[in-house]
Amino acid sequence: MPRAENYFQDFLNYLRVERNLAKNTQQAYMDDLDDFWKFLFSRDINEPGKVDHQTLTQYAQDLKQRHMAETSVARHFSSLRAYYKFLVMEGYLEKDPTQFLDSPRLPASLPKILNIEDIEMLLEAVDTESPLGLRDRALFELMYAGGMRVSEVCDLTMEQVLMDEDLVLVRGKGNKERVVPLGGEAKKWLIEYFEHGRPSLQKRHFNEGIIFLNNRGKPLQRKGIWFILKKLAKKAGLKKPVSPHTFRHSFATHLLEGGADLRMVQEMLGHVDISTTQIYTHLDSTYLKEVHSSFHPRARKR
């Protein structure tokens, strides 16, 4: 039987071509597998067919001894399941040793959101007197208006913004397309950025029409957006944890609080399964209970 590393390229091709996963997701799978095979090689195991349930149990113990977070352990196990499922599917192996591998039970956690006042504080903290400031205001207005993932915003091109129709054509996970409303404020700041910000940033770099550019004229990256947002949150005086995904969570929650239909929110978020979107209904219920507890005269225990 070929050595384990001989399958890596085949598996990577499978993730890229057949499952059409994003590069970051592909890399996460490969990093997890690399960790697993380092564990195996330390025990003189160099073939995937020699891995059994006992080996996997020992690996789980090894992860625990390294004080790895349960969320990270669960992700490692998910990567192993995908890898062995691929090996069986392609006929490299007959049995899948991960079939009875138990992932740690993760506590149900609701996504962190910002209230409307927090969002406004963040947006107003942007200095729009500079090209970079116009970029940042347009960027975060758009993320909040459309509930877009940070990767979707990074890849967004000029041709995807349909100004006359007040719509944005978004290419999401698996290269699936969806349409989200642009919104009045986001449109206003995008126009400002297009007219007075982006031309100064574009320079001579070939950027394939990417909308959001860094100060060198190259496409703005995920890490850059994280860095900008952290500085902005500090400037705005926000004490809550903030990430680019916080805008997406806030977008969905505020729509549902305002009475939006769950199916419409699912469509705008690009969720394949409505159960993924339903977490925001739980979040909304939590918010309602907090409001009731705070303001209803009979809600508090005497």
Which residue numbers are catalytic? 149, 173, 245, 248, 271, 280
In order, the DSSP letters of 210-259 are BS-B-TTSSBPPHHHHHHHHHHHHHHHT--S---HHHHHHHHHHHHHHTT
Provide the angle, in degrees to the nearest 10, between the axes of the packed helices 262-269 and 244-257. 160
Please give the Cα distance from 277 to 41 (Å, whole number).
41
Please give the Cα distance from 135 to 212 (Å, whole number).
7
Please give the Cα distance from 183 to 225 (Å, whole number).
21
Write phi, then psi, for 238 (nearest 5 degrees). -75, 135
Q: Map residue 291 onto helix, strand or coil.
A: helix
From the list 140, 212, 141, 244, the residue with the least C-alpha distance to 183 is 141
Alpha-helical regions (H) of the chain: 8-13, 23-41, 53-65, 70-89, 116-124, 131-146, 150-154, 184-196, 198-202, 222-236, 244-257, 262-269, 274-277, 279-295
Tokens of 133: 């400031």
Write phi, then psi, for 176 (nearest 5 degrees). -80, 140
Write phi, then psi, for 54 (nearest 5 degrees). -65, -40
